[in-house]
Amino acid sequence: MTTPVLQVEDLRKSYGRGATRFDALKGVSFEVRQGESLAIVGKSGSGKSTLMHLLALLDRPTEGRVLLHGEPAERLQGAALNRARNKTFGFVFQQFFLTPGQSVLENVILPLKIAGVGRAERKRRGMAALAQLDLADKAKNKASDLSGGQKQRVVIARALVNDPALIFADEPTGNLDSATGSSVEEILFRLNREQGITLVVVTHDEDLAARCDRRITVRDGLLVDVDAEADAELGEAAA
């Protein structure tokens, strides 16, 4: 059995102290399996975005731990943490976070710049990622000149450029019309299916969640619903 890409054990996250303390996560445990698509669902304020930030090593838990490929993430500090995150994860957010005045290619190769990849290799890999998304002809365009759907495809290309093991997609179709959103969904699930990239989707969209292999539901900082397979495993363990 392969080691999960990510495991979380009794994960807790609090903000503030004393009377102002807010417990965003209250003890969450599960794993993300290599090559699966997993939906994290819940209403606004449920803790699902906090959970994604902890999974992606963008924040540290108050208690509990995250394991990346079986190794405790708290051992990663500074540059080592940045390298692990940059090498392992790609990100697709509802807000595009593109630099409007830069070209499409410059936006796509930003993770490679951060990783210290040379100029020629950056361009080669950036163009290859754009080609996957049928955007090679837009490489020299400014990001501000693109449609919403094209911008989200650029974001996906940027997520792919470092050959990640896992893509986090946080409400990836939230700013798109239904037809464009469906196209973006198809791209993400194709990457999952054909390239084996693990996909973690944070969403309140039931239709999008239903397309994933599994789902977990977060409510008030707790997991309140796990997929049937996990429920069966827990039942067998209890027996």
Domains in the chain and their CATH numbers? 6-238 (3.40.50.300)
Sheet with 198-203, side-by-side order of all strands: 89-93, 166-170, 198-203, 37-41, 214-219, 222-226
Return d(Cα 38, Cα 32) in angstroms, integer: 7
What's the Rg (C-alpha) of the chain? 18
- What is the predicted pLDDT for the residue at 234? 41
Return d(Cα 160, Cα 207) in angstroms, integer: 24
User: Which residues lie closer than 8 Å to 193 by C-beta, 6 or more apart?
Assistant: none
Q: What is the pTM of this model?
A: 0.88
Per the listing, tokens 């008030």 go with 220
Sheet with 63-68, side-by-side order of all strands: 22-32, 6-15, 63-68, 71-72
Burial class (CB in 10 A: 0-12, 13-18, 19+), 47: buried
Residues 136, 127 contacting (CB under 8 angstroms): yes
Residues 66, 55 contacting (CB under 8 angstroms): yes
Tokens of 83: 């390298």
Cα dihedral 153, 196, 49, 210 sign = positive
Tokens of 239: 């027996």
Per the listing, tokens 């019309």 go with 177
- What is the tens place of the pLDDT at every residue in 99-134? 999 999 999 999 999 888 999 999 999 999 999 999
Return d(Cα 160, Cα 205) in angstroms, integer: 24
- What is the predicted pLDDT for the residue at 229? 45
* 3 closest CA partner among 58, 54, 67, 51: 67
- What is the predicted pLDDT for the residue at 226? 60
- What is the predicted pLDDT for the residue at 231? 44
- What is the predicted pLDDT for the residue at 227? 55
Q: What are the pLDDT tens digits along the chain (239 aa)?
A: 567 999 999 999 999 988 899 999 999 999 999 999 999 999 888 999 899 999 999 999 999 999 999 999 999 888 888 888 888 999 998 788 899 999 999 999 999 998 889 999 999 999 999 999 999 999 999 999 999 999 999 999 999 999 999 999 998 888 888 898 899 999 999 999 999 999 999 998 889 999 999 999 999 999 986 654 444 444 444 44
DSSP state of 153: H
- What is the predicted pLDDT for the residue at 238? 44
